[in-house]
Amino acid sequence: MSAINQRRVISCLPLLLFLAIGCYCFFPKINPAFLVLCMGIAVIITALSKLFCYFSKDTYQLAFQFDFGLGIFFLTMGVLLVVSDYFLTILSFCMMIDAVLKIQTALEAKSFGLQKWWCILILAVLAAVSALLLMIVIYEKFFLRFNPLYLLGFIFILNGGLNLFTVLYTVKEPGK
């Protein structure tokens, strides 16, 4: 297996975990402590994956271009998730930052001539709007009847899918 394919696999594993946790949020009888622990571990694993993949060399350098900074940020936030009571706030900021950077990745993919750049853009905008909505749900009393875990589950699924698509579509081996 080539180095690029290894990095693809390493970067996709945490994203599959995001998808699984997102689905888990839709179960009515979830254990909140277990869910927060899983989310914290998923963010820490994602951080380590981002730090590892940052040093990969691929043709476009799009998928991993922000991964050093994001890796450090996600590692810090993952630890905070495990030890803090502000997990919804922390997750919403993590997802918002990641989505906004993916919007930039989509625009750069367009300049490279990648035909499906707009898919990344649409998914990234949806992820950013969803993260913003989660922030509003957290801080506005108007939405207290709404269970934010459903929105969080949707965001995890959307963000996992966005990052999975970005990695699989934009990571190309040099010379191919």
Query: Could you list the pLDDT tens digit for every one of the 176 residues in the chain?
Result: 677 777 778 888 888 888 888 888 887 677 878 888 888 888 899 889 888 888 776 666 666 778 888 889 989 988 888 887 777 788 888 889 999 999 999 999 999 898 999 999 999 999 999 999 888 887 775 555 667 788 888 998 998 889 888 888 887 766 65
* Predicted local distance difference test score (pLDDT) of residue 106: 93
Q: Using an 8 Å Cβ cutoff, are 166 and 120 in contact?
A: yes
Amino acid at 104: Q
In three-state form (DSSP H/G/I as H, E/B as E, the rest C), the secondary structure along 33-44 is HHHHHHHHHHHH
Residue 2 CA to residue 4 CA, distance in Å, equals: 5
Q: Which two tokens stand for residue 3?
A: 């180095």
Task: Report pTM.
Answer: 0.79
Residue 163 CA to residue 157 CA, distance in Å, equals: 10
Residue 120 CA to residue 117 CA, distance in Å, equals: 5
Nearest to 74, CA basis, from 94, 57, 96, 93: 94
Stretch (H or E) spanning 13 = helix 3-24
Residue 170 CA to residue 168 CA, distance in Å, equals: 6
